[in-house]
Amino acid sequence: MKLADNKATLSFSNGSPSVDLPVYHGNVGPDVVDIRKLYAQTGMFTYDPGFLSTASCQSAITYIDGDKGELLYRGYPIEQLATNCDFMETCHLLLYGNLPDVAAKAAFTKRVSNHTMVNEQMQFFLRGFRRDAHPMAIMTGLVGALSAFYHDSTDINNPEHREIAAIRLIAKMPTLVAMAYKYSVGQPFMYPKNNLSYAGNFMHMMFATPCEEYVVNPVIERALDRIFVLHADHEQNASTSTVRLCGSSGTNPFAAIAAGVACLWGPAHGGANEACLNMLEDIQRMGGISKVGQFMEQVKDKNSSVKLMGFGHRVYKNYDPRAKLMQETCKEVLTALGLENDPLFKLAMALEKIALEDEYFVSRKLYPNVDFYSGIVQRAIGIPVSLFTAIFALARTVGWIAQLNEMIGDPEYKIGRPRQLFTGSVRREVQPISKR
Ligand code: ACO
């Protein structure tokens, strides 16, 4: 970051001396006012619940221009990456900062493939869960448990440990998600097949059985790979900030990523794809497209808690570029599977059309986000709705780990410790129980 020529001056109406605060430029995007010395200089904190105006770190990984609807990984537009690169190349880019050439890609892919199996003991751990447990409950447990199985990569301060933990996490997430699925449907776990692509291997572990040969459908393989690319990183969102905060205490990478998985589960974040599909199915049950108007009235009613899931974003105040790409993939997959007339897709298109023209959504700059179409794609592929967020977690793992490793390598990194504006009782004395 570069120090700007100008400074910010904070003055107070009660005559307290004003303070000058340094301003920094990033390479692109808004400048930041450095308030690190504010407390020492004024005895005051800043107040910013939800981090609406707070940059929590400096980062060189992902850049979003929410007004333009632009998303760049390491400078490359998401549209170019989704069209020209696969998930392994994207992982290499996020982790190491550059797109691999042919040899580097082959070496990286081989490295990841070598780690796709999980310790055999993990399946006994998994069997402790109820069969109907939510896959995200299982994933939170399994990812955290990795630290108990891979002791040799748990020192976050050791760059070699961080590197091997990164590869292990990227390699093992598909195996864990597929195991969680197979367990829920009572089918045998399928071991990974390392001659398949990352997405193809995931499909094999999900949908193959030991009874017959499974052939990967290339359209679905490409669609899944695109889902992974589009979800790979997204700057300092809630789960990534959770991973950074959790990792800032020096805990091991598996524990920090498990915290990210837990955060992602919420319906305001990664859980939105599941919530969106459930919403579409509810409207379909109510009568489908003919009920869209009625549903929209509920969404706009301030007294109802109904939201149009898959719409709106904290940062994008324009069309989410990932949603456009996902809509494209959605059409491709539905056509390939002969589901062009899928009623849920038609319903989604009708909802989107109305919302994009409605004053409520237009004035609030609410556009479809990536989750609006990803649920329809996943459902068409045969992925159960409850597994959607786990697949998001699988894809986001590379972003989380890249961000975590960037933080540990940052000389300015400190344990994260926000402060508060206290509104509780001031000091009082404990009374004996008989007098309370
Ligand atoms: N449906 C209806 N109204 C909405 C929606 C929506 N999906 N999203 C926002 N609004 C309204 C809010 O009620 C608010 O209205 P008001 O100004 O009259 O009070 C206004 O738009 C601003 O919304 P906020 O909630 O203040 O925006 P915030 O940045 O805090 O929230 C969020 C963003 C959480 C994504 C929100 O838009 C939402 O809940 N969307 C639905 C869930 C969803 O799709 N999440 C996925 C996010 S993307 C991802 O994680 C991959």
**In what order do the strands lie in the sheet containing 2-10?**
2-10, 19-25, 32-33
> Can you tell me the distance from the alpha carbon of 354 to that of 349, in angstroms, rounded to the nearest whole number?
9
Widest pairwise Cα distance in the chain: 80
User: What proportions of the chain, in percent to the nearest 5, are helix, strand and coil?
Assistant: 55, 5, 40
Given this model, what pLDDT does residue 271 score?
86
* Span from the CA of 311 to the centroid of ligand 1 (angstroms): 7
> Can you tell me the distance from the alpha carbon of 85 to that of 78, in angstroms, rounded to the nearest whole number?
10
Using a 6 Å cutoff on CB, does residue 270 contact ligand 1? yes
Q: Helix (H, G, I), strand (E, B), or coil: what is residue 404?
A: helix
Which residues, 6+ apart, have CB-to-CB distance to 424 below 8 Å?
Answer: none
Given this model, what pLDDT does residue 58 score?
96
Q: Which residue, 220, 222, 240, is CA-closest to 232?
A: 240
Question: Can 371 be counted among the known catalytic residues?
Answer: yes
> Can you tell me the distance from the alpha carbon of 323 to that of 320, in angstroms, rounded to the nearest whole number?
5
Q: How far from 121 is each of 146, 149, 188, CA to CA, in Å?
A: 11, 8, 15
Question: Can 204 be counted among the known catalytic residues?
Answer: no
pTM: 0.92
Using a 6 Å cutoff on CB, does residue 272 contact ligand 1? yes
Residues of the chain with pLDDT below 70 are: none
Q: Which residue's CA lies nearest to atom 27 of ligand 1?
A: 314
* Span from the CA of 40 to the centroid of ligand 1 (angstroms): 36
Of the listed 86, 225, 320, 371, which one is catalytic? Answer: 371
Given this model, what pLDDT does residue 414 score?
92
Given this model, what pLDDT does residue 153 score?
84
Using a 6 Å cutoff on CB, does residue 273 contact ligand 1? no
- Residue range 58-68, pLDDT digits in tens: 999 999 999 99
Residue 322's DSSP bridge partners are: none
Kindly give the number of the ligand 1 atom that is closest to the alpha carbon of 311.
Answer: 7
Q: How far from 326 is each of 181, 206, 344, 369, 377, CA to CA, in Å?
A: 24, 22, 15, 10, 8
Which residues, 6+ apart, have CB-to-CB distance to 376 below 8 Å?
Answer: 277, 280, 330, 334, 342, 344, 345, 348
Q: Which residue's entry shows tokens 């344990």?
A: 415
Q: Which residue, 211, 233, 199, 212, is CA-closest to 378?
A: 199
Kindly give the number of the ligand 1 atom that is closest to the alpha carbon of 264.
Answer: 50
Using a 6 Å cutoff on CB, does residue 311 contact ligand 1? yes
